[in-house]
Structure 1
Amino acid sequence: MNTQATTTKPNPVRTFLWLLRREYWEHRGGFFWAPLIAGGVIVGITLLSLIVAETTAARNGVKLSNMNLDMISRNMTPEQIAHFNAGLTTGLMGLSIPIMAILSFVVFFYLLGALYDDRRDRSVLFWKSLPISDLDTVLSKIVAAVLVAPLLAIAATIALHLAFLVLISAYAGLHGVNPLPLLWNPAPLVSMWIKLVLLIPVNALWALPTVGWLLLCSAFARSKPFLWAVALPVAFGAILGFTQLLQRLSIPSSWYWRNIVARILFGVVPGGWFGTGGDGTLRSLASGGDIDISLGKFDLVNAVLTWDRILDALASPDLWIGAAAGAGLIAAAIHFRRRRIETSV
């Protein structure tokens, strides 16, 4: 009996998932541990603050148990409860800022080294010997940066929120105060967490110019990709300012820094699109304008994370022009990934 050897083509979905797994295991410290450690540090600072508050209160004869918070919560109007929930979610989001800042740094430097590091250590020769296309390799790094890393950061954020609420609840419980009526209203918490997850695609679209630029520098540079990524646009902006070329074209000098430099260097910061579209709430806040902070007029979390604001951002030409430019930069990065395997020290 004659047997004919058959070759099976690798499953592209399984291959891509394997590439994502590779990116996670190689960068687990930044993707997983960095936001988790940041959350742990915040919880530790909170615990230390409670200890200091307890000792200070005991020294001055202040007793939390004398405050009948249960009676206060029962007598609160629905509007007052909504105000309290808005303040609580705003405070919890404020606690999350360090995690989001760490996420931005991790993703920035991850993309900057994504296509450079394996050329520097020559492991690119091994990866190119496998039946994996450069397109799949680059796309896996993009997905890891704009989807996997933010998901892990949001998971760390949720863990931080829960740990903080447990810590405050335990402190209140030690003083005979029931924290459940005020602290553990699930509706605003779950709504905030769901919105954070659903905002990941919007943040990803906004980040495409930065993603493409950093990958292009990582694939193109023979050495010091950071200088290529940062010094080149800054130096070009300085030349434009010195020659006053933009002013001669009746273009404000700030246009280049806002629409080019900021988009290709800071697009990975979560929520960078908040100033796009909408009713100008954030711009008024940043400029110190008068804002009505009554419920429904201005609630920091709900004012930013509204569906109308998200739809305004998705309808903004700034987002889609940047996304198209980012796609072009990614295509250029894939081109250099195919052709360049050498680096110089």
Structure 2
Amino acid sequence: MNASTDTMTRAPVATPPAAPHATHRYRMLLRREYWEHKGGFLWAPLVAGAISLGLTLLFAIIALVAAHRAAAGGELEIDGEMMVNGLDLGLITSRLGPEEMRQLGAGLDMSLIMASSWPFIVLAFVVFFYCLGALYDERKDRSVLFWKSLPLSDRDTVLSKAISAAVVAPAIATVAAIATMYGFLLLVSAIVLAHGGNPVTLLWGPASPLYLAAHFIAAIPVYAVWALPTVGWLLLCSAWARSKPFLWAVMIPVFAGVIVSWFDLMEFFDLETLWFWKNVVGRSLLSVVPIGWLDALDLQGMAAMGRFKFESAADIRGVLNLKVMYSAFASPKMWIGAAAGVAMILAAIRLRRWRDEG
């Protein structure tokens, strides 16, 4: 009886809490990076896209005012017919043949690419300066002491910053670019409707917004791998520099290029000095530029083999296809740079622990 009473009154043994899953840990770290740098990751590309649309509206107003003045003065002609009562886009559309419509679609695709390029331009600056301050700023404001008090390893912290730079920021910029592209189409569609045109016939039919949007999304993995040398180098400088990481990150590759050029050191490897500037200095500083991965493609060889044509703007869809884009992964230049970037990220992980403990 006493034994059973002791068993019933005995307090339950507390089980230790289970360690958080690695997926949850990285999700938390990525959220941290996003909320701490929301201005650069989210608002900068959105504002850039809004500026692009604002400039498009401004130029459209200027062009329409000039066209209406020309029509009112009898100076605007279409196929020899004088336009007096205004600009009639419906009449213009009816005069376009199949070849003209194809050229119109190619021109629209180029306009869509130009309009959507603003968030991608901002992306290069955001990723560059984010990586440059990712590990330096937390040492400068001593917030690293708080984060190192949590059960988070230096490996997880640095990798979350590298993933944020190579994947998260480009993905958000891609969404902003696609939104800008469709905003451009809607803006131009309103102008076309106001002047007697059919946006479906004149804009949405000839253009390829879905095609371009799909390829913007498909380019994210290519960008992520190509950007690794710059991401790794900037994180390494951010973990190593005690002050002025920007000067260290820029001047070391540039001075190395100057020394190589001065003494013609590349001659010992039967290479030109330009090779060093392009593959070492350029890759360490400019790989975060969105279209930089085109350098990994042998475009002339592909054109000679008939894999694509790029003789004019009408051939833009020949370059923007998955086979051409993902052929960059077959380039040794891509993987050598990626391996160098991974090595520098690993060095940044070690330096973060050494700098903080030293």
Report the TM-score, using the length of structure 1 for normalisation.
0.89
| Residue number in structure 2 paired with 1:12 | 22
**Residues 84-114 of structure 1, C-alpha deviations (whole Å, 9 max, x = no match):** 3222111111122332111100100000000
Matches within 5 A, 1:174-323: 174-185=194-205, 188-280=208-300, 292-293=311-312, 299-300=315-316, 302-323=317-338
Query: Does residue 59 in structure 1 map to residue 69 in structure 2?
Result: yes
- The one-letter amino acid of 2:128's match is F
For residue 281 of structure 1, report the CA deviation from its aligned partner.
8.0
Q: Aligned in 2, Cα 1:37/1:291: closer, same or farther, shift over 3 Å?
A: closer
Cα RMSD for the two superposed structures = 2.4
How many Å separate the matches in 2 of 1:291 and 1:310?
A: 14
- The one-letter amino acid of 2:324's match is R
**Residues 172-212 of structure 1, C-alpha deviations (whole Å, 9 max, x = no match):** 11122111113113982111111111111111111111111
Q: Aligned in 2, Cα 1:187/1:230: closer, same or farther, shift over 3 Å?
A: same
Once the two structures are overlaid, the 10-residue window that deviates more, 236-245 or 329-338, is 236-245
How many Å separate the matches in 2 of 1:109 and 1:283?
A: 36
For residue 70 of structure 1, report the CA deviation from its aligned partner.
4.5
How many Å separate the matches in 1 of 2:328 and 2:179?
A: 29
| Residue number in structure 1 paired with 2:82 | none
| Residue number in structure 2 paired with 1:155 | 175
- The higher-RCO structure (CA 8 Å, 6+ apart) is 1
Secondary structure in 1 aligned to 2:291? coil
How many Å separate the matches in 2 of 1:57 and 1:162?
A: 25
Q: Aligned in 2, Cα 1:134/1:124: closer, same or farther, shift over 3 Å?
A: same
Correspondent of 2:39 among 29, 47, 50: 29
Q: Percent identity?
A: 47
How many Å separate the matches in 2 of 1:51 and 1:281?
A: 43
For residue 67 of structure 1, report the CA deviation from its aligned partner.
4.8
How many Å separate the matches in 2 of 1:166 and 1:17?
A: 36
CA contact (8 A) 1:119 1:342 kept: no
How many Å separate the matches in 2 of 1:236 and 1:342?
A: 30
For residue 283 of structure 1, report the CA deviation from its aligned partner.
11
CA contact (8 A) 2:178 2:213 kept: yes
> What are the ranges of 5 or more consecutive residues in structure 2 without an aligned counterpart?
1-9, 77-85
- The one-letter amino acid of 2:106's match is A
Query: Does residue 100 in structure 1 map to residue 109 in structure 2?
Result: no
Q: How many residues align?
A: 331
> What are the ranges of 5 or more consecutive residues in structure 1 without an aligned counterpart?
285-289
Q: Aligned in 2, Cα 1:133/1:169: closer, same or farther, shift over 3 Å?
A: same
Correspondent of 1:88 among 102, 108, 118: 108
CA contact (8 A) 1:233 1:261 kept: yes
Report the TM-score, using the length of structure 2 for normalisation.
0.86
CA contact (8 A) 2:117 2:177 kept: no
Higher Cα Rg, which structure: 2
Query: Does residue 45 in structure 1 map to residue 64 in structure 2?
Result: no
Query: Does residue 118 in structure 1 map to residue 118 in structure 2?
Result: no
Secondary structure in 1 aligned to 2:292? coil
Once the two structures are overlaid, the 10-residue window that deviates more, 315-324 or 46-55, is 46-55
- The one-letter amino acid of 2:34's match is Y
Q: Aligned in 2, Cα 1:294/1:237: closer, same or farther, shift over 3 Å?
A: closer
Q: Aligned in 2, Cα 1:141/1:278: closer, same or farther, shift over 3 Å?
A: same
